[in-house]
């Protein structure tokens, strides 16, 4: 797989990024109706991706491998599981051969400062992430979302301290508004700090609003745009057109957002499906190709669950 330069960082990466929000999973043998991570299959898939030339892996401290909505704020036993599995899978490979991004902000425990972008939490969170990943540093450390409390200047200085300490190489933002992104860029410039170099935001054929806002701002500042949900959680892969819901998120996640998205765009989805048949290429390839041609500084984030 041909490598590309990630914006102004100079780091070389595969154009395809392996995401770990959802990992291969299976029904729990002890709790009916619950899904648990299939650790063996997850490790095998990550290694397979690496062998195929994918060298950029994305995760977050709140990723559990399965999105357990009902226990997000009362059971933290599986918090960080995706980081642990990723670290286990990549253990033994040369660290210079792959790129890692992880994220911070979401609640990872019951204590008052077990979330947020405050320095107290970030200093603690990065150490725990590195421990789970079994690594000395991460290439990119992203604010997972704004916390509406921490001053951008303080948050930016915190990230620069982590860079100076060698725990992270660069930092970025995910799920921020365009005005918030611009503010962080302005603050880092005003204070003479290293600014954010990467964003992670949603973009697909059905959800395009970020193209004219945060993605445009990122490109204007030579930042990397790391795209998530390029296939709209499987909808743009044609997964649900023929009613195939076996072992899918739609089948086992009660609040699967794709239900509404599919219903609202059923006519557009069918037109895309017909076009893919006419061209003789998979619907997923056509959808990803659209994302790939939206800008110059793009990486696609895909998270296979099987």
More confident residue, 258 or 98: 98
Terminal alpha carbon distance of the chain: 21
Q: Is residue 17 part of a domain?
A: yes
The predicted model gives 198-207 an average pLDDT of: 94
Q: Is residue 131 part of a domain?
A: yes
pTM, 2 dp: 0.93
pLDDT class of 255 with cuts at 50, 70, 90:
low
Q: Is residue 31 part of a domain?
A: yes
Q: Is residue 9 part of a domain?
A: yes
pLDDT at residue 289, as a whole number: 87
DSSP states of the chain as a string? ---EE-TTS--EE-SEEEE-SB--EEE-SSSTT-EEE-HHHHHHHHHHHHHTT--EEE--TT--BS--GGGTTT--TTTTHHHHHHHHHHTTS-GGG-EEEEEE-S--SSSTTSSSSSHHHHHHHHHHHHHHHT-S-EEEEEE-S--SSS-HHHHHHHHHHHHHTTSEEEEEEES--HHHHHHHHHHHHHHT-----EEEEE-BTTB-GGGGTHHHHHHHTT-EEEEE-TTTTTGGGTTTTT---TTSHHHH-TT-THHHHHHHTHHHHHHHHHHHHHHTS-HHHHHHHHHHTS-SSEEEEE----
- Residue 194's CATH number: 3.20.20.100
Q: Is residue 46 part of a domain?
A: yes
The predicted model gives 132-141 an average pLDDT of: 98
The predicted model gives 243-262 an average pLDDT of: 62
Q: Which domain holds residue 87?
A: 4-232+283-302
pLDDT class of 245 with cuts at 50, 70, 90:
low
**Domains identified in the chain, total number:** 1
Lowest mean pLDDT among 60-69, 80-89, 234-243: 234-243
Q: Is the pLDDT of residue 202 over 90?
A: yes
More confident residue, 162 or 258: 162
More confident residue, 305 or 170: 170
Q: Is the pLDDT of residue 251 over 70?
A: no
pLDDT class of 73 with cuts at 50, 70, 90:
confident
Q: Is residue 199 part of a domain?
A: yes
Q: Tokens for 84? A: 């642990």
Q: Is the pLDDT of residue 248 over 80?
A: no
Q: Is residue 270 part of a domain?
A: no
pLDDT at residue 116, as a whole number: 98
Q: Is the pLDDT of residue 46 over 60?
A: yes
What share of the chain in percent tops pLDDT 90? 72
Q: How do strand 4-5 and strand 198-202 relate by DSSP bridges?
A: unpaired
What share of the chain in percent tops pLDDT 70? 92
pLDDT at residue 51, as a whole number: 96
pLDDT at residue 2, as a whole number: 87
Q: Is residue 221 part of a domain?
A: yes
pLDDT at residue 257, as a whole number: 58
pLDDT class of 292 with cuts at 50, 70, 90:
confident
Q: How does pLDDT run across 145-158, given as a tens digit for each residue? A: 999 999 999 999 99
The predicted model gives 250-279 an average pLDDT of: 79
Side-chain-side CA neighbours of residue 130 (13 Å): 17
pLDDT at residue 246, as a whole number: 60
Contact 297, 287 (CB under 8 A): no
pLDDT at residue 147, as a whole number: 94
More confident residue, 98 or 300: 98
């Amino acid at each position: 797989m041909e490598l590309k330069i990630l914006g102004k960082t100079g780091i070389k990466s595969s154009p395809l990024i392996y995401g770990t929000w959802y990992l291969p999973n299976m029904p729990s043998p002890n709790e009916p109706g619950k899904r648990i991570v299939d650790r063996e299959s997850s490790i095998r898939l990550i290694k397979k991706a690496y062998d195929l030339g994918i060298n950029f892996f994305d995760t977050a401290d709140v990723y559990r491998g399965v999105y357990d909505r009902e226990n997000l704020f009362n059971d933290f036993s599986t918090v960080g599981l995706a980081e642990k599995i990723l670290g286990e899978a990549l253990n033994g490979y040369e660290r210079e051969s792959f790129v890692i991004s992880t994220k911070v902000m979401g609640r990872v425990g019951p204590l008052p400062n077990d979330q947020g972008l405050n320095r107290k939490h970030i200093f603690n969170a990065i150490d725990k992430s590195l421990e789970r990943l079994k690594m000395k540093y991460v290439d990119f450390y992203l604010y997972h979302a704004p916390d509406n409390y921490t001053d951008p200047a303080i948050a930016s200085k915190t990230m620069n301290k982590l860079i100076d300490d060698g725990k992270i190489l660069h930092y970025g933002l995910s799920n921020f508004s365009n005005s918030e992104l611009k503010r962080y860029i302005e603050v880092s410039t005003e204070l003479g700090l290293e600014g954010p170099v990467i964003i992670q935001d949603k973009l697909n054929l059905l959800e395009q609003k970020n193209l004219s806002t945060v993605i445009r701002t990122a490109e204007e500042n030579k930042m990397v745009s790391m795209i998530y949900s390029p296939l709209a959680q499987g909808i743009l892969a044609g997964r649900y057109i023929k009613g195939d819901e076996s072992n899918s998120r739609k089948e086992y996640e009660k609040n699967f957002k794709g239900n509404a998205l599919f219903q609202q765009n059923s006519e557009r989805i069918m037109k895309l499906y017909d076009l893919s048949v006419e061209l003789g290429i998979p619907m997923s390839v056509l959808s990803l190709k659209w994302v790939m041609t939206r800008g110059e500084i793009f990486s696609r984030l895909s998270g296979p669950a099987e």
